[in-house]
Amino acid sequence: MRSFKTLRTATLTALFVAVPFAGAYAASTFSGPSVTALIDQVQGVEKGITDAMQVNKIKPAEAHRLHMRAAHISQVAERTAAAGHGRIPATQYQQLLHQLDDLSQTLRVDTGSAFLMGNGGDGGYYPNGYGPNHPNG
């Protein structure tokens, strides 16, 4: 009887210890729709690069450089998901999103559609609101 009680206690203890770790591991990965959404976002940026080149907002060499960065992000995401049975660890997922955001911001800067700054009197590209030829600039 005593060994049954010890076994039951050991089993319950192991279960209580393992469950939080299993939940933490599951919460620290992204899979399925999240991975697909990341790949779709990369494809959206790729389309933006192509569109910008077609309307002469960026040169073909710049478009090629940006496409290579997008392809790298996509390849890393696909490789990581394949190695992780469709899952990407949260840290790596966040890094990929950050890289994609940087790429998207680079595209906006290169096409002249980056976030505006200042009061808008200079087109918004100078933090103090004055252009380079303004006396207060």
Residue 135: the pLDDT is: 52
| pTM, to two decimals | 0.63
Residue 42 tokens, joined = 């990369």
Domain coordinates in residue numbering, the chain: 30-111
Say yes or no to pLDDT of 19 above 50: no
- Strands 29-31, 87-89: pairing kind: antiparallel
Express each pLDDT in 61-93 by its tens digit. 999 999 999 999 999 999 999 999 999 999 999
**Cβ–Cβ contacts within 10 Å for residue 6, how many?**
10
Residue 51: the pLDDT is: 94
Residue 20: the pLDDT is: 41
Residues of 84-108 as b/e, b for ≥16 C-beta within 10 angstroms?
Answer: eeebbeeebbeebbebbeebbebbe
| Calpha distance 45→57 (Å, rounded) | 15
Q: Which residues pair with 29 in a beta bridge?
A: 89
Burial (Cβ within 10 Å: 0-12, 13-18, ≥19) of residue 81: buried
